[in-house]
Amino acid sequence: MTPTLTTPPAFPRAVRIAGTGAYAPERALTNRDLEKIVNTTDEWIVTRTGMRERRIAAPEQATSDLGSEAALRALADAGVAPEEVQLLLVATITPDYPFPNTGCLVQRRIGAKNAFCMSIEAACSGFVYGLETARHYIAGGAVDTALVIGAEKMSSILDWRDRSTCVLFGDGAGAAVLKPARRGRGIIASVLGSDGALSELLYVPAGGSRKPASAETVAAGEHFLRMNGREVFKHAVTNMVRAARTALHRAGLTPADVRWIIPHQANLRIIGAIAERLEIPEERFVINVARYGNTSGASVGLALDEAARDGRLRDGDIVMMLVFGGGFTWGATLIEWEKTS
């Protein structure tokens, strides 16, 4: 399927990432811990997914709490005060409440009182969807400073009796502050796409307006995430590779020009298949799936912050963020890294 949203040829104002932040809850749940909960093994999880542990939020922590921590760290990194934020966007599929949107709850917590706030529901693609949305507001001149947060408490929608899903996900948050670029090209090209025909391959059946929560839906575990892993795997590889190629083509770049790929951390085998097809060595992929599992909308933000802080990302590097998630949704964003002033 052809990606539906692409970068217009002449963008009025280039947009850069001016700061990043991340937060992962303290409690680590290892594969050995999971062996005690469901019928699984460390060996199965490692060979099928590359995951070794994931973080689990405390019972009193909600998604907005995780997101607020990451947001404050990103603001500090960018040297931006909360009051300067004009647009605050939270990408999540595990909101604190059905409404109000989690953006408003983060706003209250961090004191971003001059921002307008919203949430984006694009599952594991949410962070890149958020970046692209915020970028348009800045590029068009509507705002100068945006805060994009991907935050998830996936543990709150997992069925801890279902070994095929509960071992795969974790909690966390990543954030980025967006500002107009100073010298470089900033975000060079983005490709976003969706395919609603396959929504039920990865979804939560109940708790929404189609099937409101009831004693029956809870008894049937329909408020938990359901996934056809094998099908999702195939679509993830195909669509991420296609999005990457399209974004590169639009930018007039080749895979060899990309210094770092920051993929959604769903499965090490998915990342390996993408690396092979794009003919980019796995060493140029930022990978932390072993430590965090799949944190859905938080995953790219978490990995981005890690690579930025440990010095892997240098000014001038071409970085590609690559995502796929429920919906289906997918996307690729190419950015010329320009953070230091």
* Residue 271 binds to ligand COA (criterion: CB under 6 A): no
Binders in 184-203 for ligand COA, by CB under 6 A: none
User: What residues numbered 128-167 form the site for ligand COA, per CB under 6 A?
Assistant: 163-164, 167
Catalytic site residue 228?
no
134 token code pair: 């915020």
Is residue 294 part of the annotated active site? The answer reads yes
Rounded-to-10 torsion of CA 189, 195, 200, 205: 60
If binding is defined by CB under 6 A, does position 124 make contact with ligand COA?
yes
From the candidates 101, 104, 117, 124, which is the catalytic residue? Answer: 124
Residue 325 pairs in a beta bridge with 329
Contacting residue, 11, 44, 116, 203, with ligand COA by CB under 6 A: 44
266 scored as a contact of ligand COA (CB under 6 A): yes
For residues 300-309, one letter each, b for 16 or more C-beta atoms within 10 angstroms of the residue's C-beta and e for the rest, the string is bbbbbbbbbe
Q: Do 171 and 57 form a contact (C-beta atoms < 8 A)? A: yes
Q: Which of 31, 117, 166, 264 is catalytic?
A: 264
**How many residues of this chain bind ligand COA (CB under 6 A)?**
21
In the bound state with ligand COA, the residue whose beta carbon lies nearer, of 74 and 270, is 270
Give residues 222-241 in contact with ligand COA (rule: CB under 6 A): 227, 229-230, 232-233, 236
Cα distance between residue 232 and residue 49, in whole Å: 13
The token duo for 94 is 């595990």
Residue closest to ligand COA (Cβ): 229
With CB under 6 A as the contact rule, the residue among 64, 294, 295, 333 that binds ligand COA is: 294
What are the E-state strand segments in the chain?
Answer: 5-6, 15-23, 27-30, 53-56, 87-91, 116-120, 146-153, 171-180, 187-194, 202-203, 226-227, 260-263, 318-325, 329-336
Residues contacting 200, CB < 8 A, separation 6+: none
* 295 makes contact with ligand COA (CB under 6 A): no
DSSP 3-state of 278: helix
124 is catalytic: yes
Which residue, among 149, 122, 124, 121, has the nearest Cα to 134 in the 3D structure? Answer: 149
Instruction: HSE, CB side, 13 Å, CA atoms: give it for residue 168.
Output: 23
Give 11's DSSP letter. Answer: -
Closest CB to ligand COA among residues 82, 126? 126
With tokens 């100068």, the residue in question is 144
Is 51:289 a contact under the CB 8 Å cutoff? yes
* 272 touches ligand COA by CB under 6 A: no
CB of 334 to ligand COA, least distance (A): 21
Binding mask 163-182 for ligand COA (x = CB under 6 A): xx--x---------------
Q: Which is nearer to ligand COA, 7 or 267 (CB)?
A: 267
- Position 49 contacts ligand COA (CB under 6 A): yes
Judged by the rule CB under 6 A, the positions of this chain that interact with ligand COA are 40, 44-45, 48-49, 124, 163-164, 167, 227, 229-230, 232-233, 236, 266-267, 270, 294, 324-325
Give me the active site residues, please.
Answer: 124, 264, 294
